Amino acid sequence: MRAIKINVEKQIFEEIEIKDWTEIAPAIGNKCEIFTCPITLENGDTMYCDDEALFTEQFGGIIMKDWLYPLLGNIILLNSNEEGDSTPAVSQIEELKKQIAFLTKEKTNEYQKQFF
């Protein structure tokens, strides 16, 4: 199914294919083993990110207007149905580009230092 990967190291948005939830952590990359879903957009797309990102070396992050803190590492966007099963992302990359700002590796390192 159609997913969107926000690649923070390359600072790009790209469409990828995800078969099911078992492919989310590998798609996030950076040795992600546990993911979390901290943000759901108004259109129902959910952002999946590395739940242990504060404990590993990061290559960047993202932030959106009105967020209190950034998300570190790569992000995968998928939607879901009423049963909670993953469905294709409905977001359009051009719209996401207008809403999301990338953070450099240096900025994410500063953020990590606030907590450790």
pLDDT number for residue 67: 86
| 103 phi/psi in degrees, rounded to 5 | -110, 140
Could you please report the per-residue DSSP string of the chain? -EEEEEETTTTEEEEEE--SGGGHHHHH-TT---EEEEEE-TTS-EEEEETTGGGS--S-EEEETT-SSPEES-EEEEEE-TTS-EE-----HHHHHHHEEEE-HHHHHHHHHTT-
In the predicted model, what is the mean pLDDT of residues 33-49?
95
Give pTM, 2 decimals.
0.90
Who wins on pLDDT, 84 or 58? 84
pLDDT number for residue 31: 92
In the predicted model, what is the mean pLDDT of residues 59-66?
90
In the predicted model, what is the mean pLDDT of residues 85-105?
94
